[in-house]
Amino acid sequence: MTTLIYPLVARFPKPDFTSGYQYPEIIHGMPWEQFWSWLDLAILLGMMCLVAWAVHRRPSRRIIFTVSIVSVLYFGFFRTGCVCSIGSIQNVVLALADSSYRLPLVVLLLFLVPLVFALFFGRVFCAGVCPMGALQELVNVRNFRISRSVASALGFSPWIYLGFAILYAATRSQFIICRFDPFIGIFRLSGDVGMIVFGISLLVLSVFVGRPFCRFLCPYGALLGVVSSVAIRRVEVTKKPCINCTLCHNSCPVDAIREPYANKGGESRLVGVRRIILYVVMLPLLTLGGGWLLSSQSDTLSIAHRDVYLYTLLQSDLDAEEMPVEVEAFHEMGRKMEDLEASVADVRQAYHAWAWAAGALIGFVLGWKLIRLSVKRTRKTYEIEPSSCVACGKCFDYCPQNIGVKK
């Protein structure tokens, strides 16, 4: 068995021999964590291929359910949910914002692979490969349907979450996706009590409502939804003609199957066109407005950065007895106030720029959602909405057209 060791780091310079002695080349083994990360990627790739096959080539809920169990056990409890594709968003953003940050290749691939699969096969990552989605899927026994209007409003939350995740990652403040991960405490059987309670609450809710985290909180799911909306191969309930029995619609845990629509309300085409034109005109206004609104609060938001927080503490009147440890460390290390002020100025400048970008993203998505909601297309049969479908396969077993198909 090959022994893997961490590479050695020279803490002191090597002695300079005058005799012409040449140091031998030292070859270090691959670090254990790097090995496990590449193994995670390989397993992720294999499981996604299996799910894609089970969704498109041989529709099988049983295979997807088995993959979900394996994902929870391996990626969840064994690998403790880290490094994950959801959290990799922050690493990618930081690499784009800071040229000094070296993005590990395996992390970049963890970010890209599910998106590439979504482009070709839909959200097969969400089906059962993601341990967070799989855990919610395994505990789900009933589905109380949330009204379409409420679900649409809550579906905007992941984009707000994504905007702030981009802002805090790009400014090297916090990785809020990892910090506020509701399931990491469950997978590690330890951690912040508040987040563990929040995670357990989401699981209890998942018993009765299909995947609340995936639908109303997950920022990576929002990206997968956009990519899967233009997927080359879309998830289908059955390969045979739909008979409008409503069984697939009632079985879908995420309400991703749309019922037939024939404009029974009698809305004229002209009214619909005018509404769309109005929202198209509003789109750039909402984009600019979102950027301006968030950037106007950039100084307040920047307190999340450690230097700005420290500067705020130093500017406040504190008694010697209640002096925070950050202030004590600042004085003991002999740091200069001028250097701290320069750092704070740079941070606030970065916050202003990235807050504008994050706010513009949120505003743009809001405008685009309004446009999408205003577009009403006639449907004669039940159809899957690709951006919402998580490819869980529950509808496969409910469709009477699939009876007799090998699973």
Query: What are the tens digits of pLDDT across the range 359-369?
Result: 999 999 999 99
Give the pLDDT band (50/70/90) at residue 4.
Answer: very low
384 phi, psi to nearest 5 deg? -85, 130
pLDDT at position 216 over 50: yes
Pairing of strands 257-258, 383-384: antiparallel
At 264 the three-state DSSP class reads coil
At 406 the pLDDT is 56
Give the pLDDT band (50/70/90) at residue 274.
Answer: confident
What mean pLDDT is predicted for residues 81-93? 90
The percentage of residues in the chain with a pLDDT greater than 70, rounded to a whole number, is 88
What mean pLDDT is predicted for residues 116-131? 96
Task: List strand residue ranges (DSSP E) for 225-374, in order.
Answer: 257-258
DSSP string spanning 345-382? HHHHHHHHHHHHHHHHHHHHHHHHHHHHHH----BSS-
pLDDT at position 9 over 60: no
pLDDT mean across residues, the chain: 88
What mean pLDDT is predicted for residues 91-109? 94
The percentage of residues in the chain with a pLDDT greater than 90, rounded to a whole number, is 65
Burial of 259-283, coded b for 16+ CB within 10 Å and e otherwise, reads eeeeeeeeeeeeeeeebbeebeebb
Q: Which stretch of 4-8, 176-180, 233-237, 241-245 has the lowest confidence by average pLDDT?
A: 4-8
What mean pLDDT is predicted for residues 71-97? 92
What mean pLDDT is predicted for residues 195-212? 95
Query: In angstroms, rounded to a whole number, what is the distance separating the alpha carbons of residues 313 and 324?
Result: 8
State which H helix or E strand residue 311 sits in: helix 306-315
Query: Residue for token digits 């989605």?
Result: 133
At 331 the pLDDT is 78
pLDDT at position 217 over 90: yes
**What phi-psi label fits residue 104: left (phi over 0), alpha (psi between -120 and 50 degrees) or beta?**
beta
Residues 132-189 have pLDDT tens digits of 999 999 999 988 888 888 998 999 999 999 999 999 999 999 999 999 999 999 999 8
At 206 the pLDDT is 95
At 82 the pLDDT is 78
pLDDT at position 80 over 60: yes
At 267 the pLDDT is 66
Q: What is the 3-state secondary structure (H, E, C) of 93-144?
A: HHHHHCCCCCCCHHHHHHHHHHHHHHHHHCCHHHHHHCHHHHHHHHHCCCCC
- The answer to whether residues 206 and 217 touch, using CB atoms and an 8 Å cutoff, is no
What mean pLDDT is predicted for residues 91-107? 93
Residues 6+ apart with CB under 8 A from 83: 37, 40, 106, 107, 110
Query: In angstroms, rounded to a whole number, what is the distance separating the alpha carbons of residues 277 and 109?
Result: 39
User: Where is pLDDT greater, at 348 or 31?
Assistant: 348
Residues 238-264 have pLDDT tens digits of 989 999 999 999 999 999 999 898 765
At 27 the pLDDT is 52
The overall longest dimension of the chain from CA atoms, in Å, is 95
